Structure 1
Amino acid sequence: MEIILKTDIVGLGYKNDVVVVKPGYARNYLIPQGFAQLATASNRKVLAENLKQAAHKAEKIKNEALAIAEAIGDMVITIAMKTGESGRIFGRVTNTQVSDALKEKGFEIDRKKIALEDIKNIGDYTATVDLHKEVKHKVAIKVVAEE
């Protein structure tokens, strides 16, 4: 079943994308929650017109995302965690901690737009920040022992 997404959904697509999903997923979850609408001929025409009108606005948003990515650059975020004797940390580093660390540096990035690998030890890691549909930026993370 083809649907038009009204919001970004991780693992499925971005706003205004036409995607194919199973009918039950669309009827029972996406459409009732307001995340999508059926991709009928009339809805496709409305989408095409909206995309045409929003093209310059989308370019501005993309340029802002590129500017943020350039400003972040090769920044290294240091996160202090409690550790055991073997260098393993208690708990794990979460995307909320990365988001808060970026906020301290002046970058307001939603935690849902940050993808992390599973961090359980002290060391250097990378996180991927999804700033825009076409702009993804890698941020270096250094996990150190809390003193």
Structure 2
Amino acid sequence: MKVILQQEVKKLGKQGDIIEVSEGYARNYLLPQKLAVPATNTNINTIKQQKAAQVQKTQRLLDEARLLAAQLGQLEVSVPVKTGEGGKLFGSVTSKDIADALLAQHQVEMDKRKIEIKENIKSLGTYAITLRIHPEVTTQIQVHIVSL
């Protein structure tokens, strides 16, 4: 019997997959648990429409992320910090500090977990920081660490 999975089922498939299972398994487990629906023409067309809408949504989100990455790539951020002798910082600059500076200077709200700092920032200078905007889209901004 052909069924369309409504959610992921281990060792069978993912949501939206059309699979062939035994009638007993479908009738006694998959259908009562609402893990699957029978693969009728209307159900197949509904799943195709949902997949097409999902593809359009992911493409739209990707395009928006690329546009945002192009805009953010032009930004430069200054982070003022307290320093000791020789330009050494008290502590280090974290991704939260950079996110706060982005919000204060450019009104761009960025999650601190999406800011990647390759090396610890423990001295004054300019650093290239990577921002993950989308799983497929990243951009770099310049961060200037300046003394108060």
If the length of structure 2 is used for normalisation, what is the TM-score?
Answer: 0.65
Matched, 1:41 2:12: yes
**In 2, Cα distance between equivalents of 1:97 and 1:83:** 15
Instruction: State the Cα distance separating 1:69 from its structure 2 match.
Output: 1.1
Runs of 4+ aligned structure 1 residues displaced above 2 Å come to 37-46, 48-53
C-alpha spacing 1:62/1:43, structure 2 compared with 1 (3 Å): same
Structural mapping, 1:7-86, within 5 Å: 40-43=11-14, 45-46=16-17, 52-86=52-86
1:29 maps to which residue? Answer: none
Matched, 1:108 2:79: no
1:139 maps to which residue? Answer: 141
| Structure of higher CA gyration radius | 2
- For structure 2, the residue ranges without an aligned partner over 5 or more in a row are 1-7, 18-46
1:68-98 alpha-carbon deviations (Å, 9 max, x no partner): 1111122111001100111110011111111
Which is richer in strand? 2
Q: Give the aligned CA root-mean-square deviation in angstroms.
A: 2.2
Number of aligned residues:
109
Instruction: State the Cα distance separating 1:44 from its structure 2 match.
Output: 5.8
Structure 2 SS opposite 1:130 = strand
2:129 maps to which residue? Answer: 127
Instruction: State the Cα distance separating 1:135 from its structure 2 match.
Output: 0.6
**In 1, Cα distance between equivalents of 2:115 and 2:9:** 29
If the length of structure 1 is used for normalisation, what is the TM-score?
Answer: 0.65
- For structure 1, the residue ranges without an aligned partner over 5 or more in a row are 1-36
